[in-house]
Amino acid sequence: MNHTSFAECSARERIDALLDPASFEEWLPPADRVMSPHLALLGVPAAFDDGVAVGRGRLDGREVFIAAQEGAFMGGGVGEVHGAKLTGWLRRALRDRPAVVLLLAESGGVRLHEANAGLIGVSEVMRAVLDVRAAGIPVVVLIGGANGCFGGMGIVARCADRVVMSDVARLSMSGPEVIEASNGVEEFDSRDRALVWRTTGGKHRFLTGDCDALVEDDVAAFRAAAVAALAGAARPVTLASLEAEHALLAGRLADAPPDADAFTLWRGLGVADPHRVPDLDVAAVRALVEDRA
Amino acid sequence: MNWLALADTLFGPSHGIVEHDRFLDGTVSFDGAPLKVIGTTDHAPIGVALALAQARAVLDTVTAHPGRPILLLIDTQGQQLRLRDELLGINRAMAHLGCCIDLARRQGHRVVGLVYDQALSGGFITSGLIADACHALPEAEIRVMRLPAMARVTKIPEARLAELSADNPVFAPGVGNYVAMGGVRGLWDGDLRAALSEALRSSPVTDERDRDGAARGGRRLAAAVADRVLEA
């Protein structure tokens, strides 16, 4: 069977691989040249799509909304136009009520070249995601790009109904380089790849429940996870659901010793031999969680 | 302005708001009705613990006092930059705080944010920027990053950035720029009590920030681009 790395695909290749063949209809495609007006002032090349593709298509025969951030353009950073495309796409989902809304997130967060507009833009995306959920339409974020999902987009991801990650994906808030630059290499050595992955990578997020599904870095695996999400019910945000989330997060904080590392947390989650986790394949990590259940 | 002076001005000296580890919490009487006050001070970095403390206060208000308006007092240096917080899922804790405030809004609580000192990126997106409306004091500072750091990251000379900031609100720090872009609804000049009263009365319940940004000329494309996606 052919294996195609999701991480190595472009945004539109990911969309095409996820959806039923030739079913993607893109809104404001590159031909429309809806571009950032701010980058030229800074002498930075702009992109015809401002680094994001939005539209709809079919998944297993059902109409779905899908968007993908292009990590190859400014690390998927959210600028004014990029953010507005996502916000308009989510507002349209409220009107057209697709079966599910799929966001293939790959982003370092706010695009610093248009920082203020990007920050407000991410906050508009966040509110629009919660509007879509409040309307009972499930939002699923799929993360598998080389740039990971950080900053404001890391927050947006956790505002969705479900999160899917590959084992090579990363999800967090601040990049290790930013933390190292601010608080020193002894706080976070950004060149220690094993440390970076066990702090922010897919396996860690799956073991802690920060992502709902862990898949191989393979477009077919992501498609299967998206199809599975079609069958899953929306998870309404209610006072009860937020109390449950709060109890989980407060318990996690209380249980973590001050010098906690990933191995401590995994052991606390019932993983008998946490030092083996980095070497386990996806199926074996899933089995750890299934055994626990 | 420091939070104590602000609280005295808004609610009088017996306001009862207390600070604990940079977390502000209290219930005051304002315009003859109870008002919940939740916030941070001392340029607090928002880590998992501080995000959860704020979320707890919001959830308790929604549970015990349905409909009670909430004022968010904002002074933050942004998200806590620590490995431990990343490990514990700081993005999830901040999303949780945002979801709690969003739930309060949907259940009929008016939520008003006020940047009274400093607001930055991650600490702002799950507080003032997810309220019904966010306001600021004129002397407050709002930014994603200072210009020297921005010059390093973007590899554009600081002098050039400073020059561009003069007439482009998109990347330069400043509350005025956030007003022009619609991210901040207005500046509270003069009578702060009257400004709060008006904010609690007139805050929009839907997200109008892209329209405000277009009308004020600071963010000319966002609303039009979003509309074009709806019409495509």
Amino acid, res. A137: I
Of A171, A53, A146, A174, nearest in space to A103 by CA: A53
pLDDT over 70 for what percent of chain A?
A: 99
Mean pLDDT of chain B: 94
Instruction: Please state the rounded mean pLDDT for residues A114-135.
Output: 97
Q: Tokens for B29?
A: 């009487």
Give the integer Cα–Cα distance in Å for B128 and B115: 7
Q: What is the CATH number of domain A11-171+211-235?
A: 3.90.226.10
Helix (H, G, I), strand (E, B) or coil at B152: helix
Give the integer Cα–Cα distance in Å for A122 and B112: 19
Residue B152 at interface with chain A, using a CB cutoff of 8 Å: no
Give the residue extent of every domain in chain A. Answer: 11-171+211-235
Whether residues B171 and A114 touch (CB distance < 8 A) is answered with yes
Of A282, A135, A136, A134, nearest in space to A214 by CA: A282
Taking only the tens place, the pLDDT of each residue in A249-263 is 999 999 999 989 999
At residue A78 the predicted structure's pLDDT band, cuts being 50, 70 and 90, is very high
At residue B201 the predicted structure's pLDDT band, cuts being 50, 70 and 90, is very high
Instruction: Residues B3-206: name the CATH superfamily.
Output: 2-enoyl-CoA Hydratase; Chain A, domain 1 (3.90.226.10)
A-B interface: how many C-beta pairs under 8 angstroms? 248
At residue A1 the predicted structure's pLDDT band, cuts being 50, 70 and 90, is low
Instruction: Please state the rounded mean pLDDT for residues A139-167.
Output: 97
Helix (H, G, I), strand (E, B) or coil at A211: coil
Give the integer Cα–Cα distance in Å for A130 and A236: 10
Instruction: Please state the rounded mean pLDDT for residues A69-86.
Output: 98
Using the predicted structure, report yes or no on whether residue A56 has a pLDDT greater than 70.
yes
Instruction: Please state the rounded mean pLDDT for residues B139-145.
Output: 89
ipTM of the complex: 0.98
The percent helix, strand, coil of chain A (3-state, each to 5) is 50, 15, 35
Taking only the tens place, the pLDDT of each residue in B147-198 is 777 787 778 888 988 888 777 888 888 899 999 999 999 999 999 999 999 9
Taking only the tens place, the pLDDT of each residue in B123-135 is 899 999 999 999 9
Q: For chain B, what is the radius of gyration of the CA atoms?
A: 18
Of A192, A236, A16, A158, nearest in space to B83 by CA: A192
Which chain B residues touch A256 with a CB distance below 8 Å? 84, 87-88
Give the integer Cα–Cα distance in Å for B171 and B212: 18
Instruction: Please state the rounded mean pLDDT for residues B191-220.
Output: 96
Which pLDDT score is estimated for A17?
97
Q: For chain A, what is the radius of gyration of the CA atoms?
A: 19
Give the integer Cα–Cα distance in Å for A152 and A76: 12
Q: A222 to chain B nearest CA, in Å? A: 22
Helix runs in B108-154, H state only = 121-125, 147-154
Report the 10 Å Cβ neighbour count for A272.
9
Q: B7 to chain A nearest CA, in Å? A: 27
Residue A12 at interface with chain B, using a CB cutoff of 8 Å: no
Using the predicted structure, report yes or no on whether residue A100 has a pLDDT greater than 90.
yes
Taking only the tens place, the pLDDT of each residue in B32-65 is 999 999 999 999 999 999 999 999 999 999 999 9
Q: Tokens for A274?
A: 């946490």
Which pLDDT score is estimated for B156?
85
Using the predicted structure, report yes or no on whether residue A227 has a pLDDT greater than 70.
yes
pTM: 0.97
Q: Which of A200-209, A218-227, B117-126, B189-198 has the lowest mean pLDDT?
A: B117-126
Which chain B residues touch A159 with a CB distance below 8 Å? 95, 98-99
Using the predicted structure, report yes or no on whether residue A123 has a pLDDT greater than 80.
yes
Give the integer Cα–Cα distance in Å for A20 and A29: 19
Among A91, A152, A179, the residue with its CB nearest the CB of B82 is A179
Which pLDDT score is estimated for B173?
83
- The residue assigned the tokens 């966010």 is B134
Q: A281 to chain B nearest CA, in Å? A: 21
Residue A250 at interface with chain B, using a CB cutoff of 8 Å: yes
Which chain A residues touch B230 with a CB distance below 8 Å? 88, 91-92, 95
Whether residues B92 and A122 touch (CB distance < 8 A) is answered with no
Whether residues B177 and A116 touch (CB distance < 8 A) is answered with yes
Q: Tokens for B138?
A: 């004129």
Of A219, A224, A226, nearest in space to A12 by CA: A219
Count of H helices and E strands in chain A? Answer: 11, 7
Among A122, A183, A242, the residue with its CB nearest the CB of B103 is A242
Residue A122 at interface with chain B, using a CB cutoff of 8 Å: yes
Give the integer Cα–Cα distance in Å for A104 and A120: 20
At residue B146 the predicted structure's pLDDT band, cuts being 50, 70 and 90, is confident
Which chain A residues touch B220 with a CB distance below 8 Å? 37
At residue A226 the predicted structure's pLDDT band, cuts being 50, 70 and 90, is very high
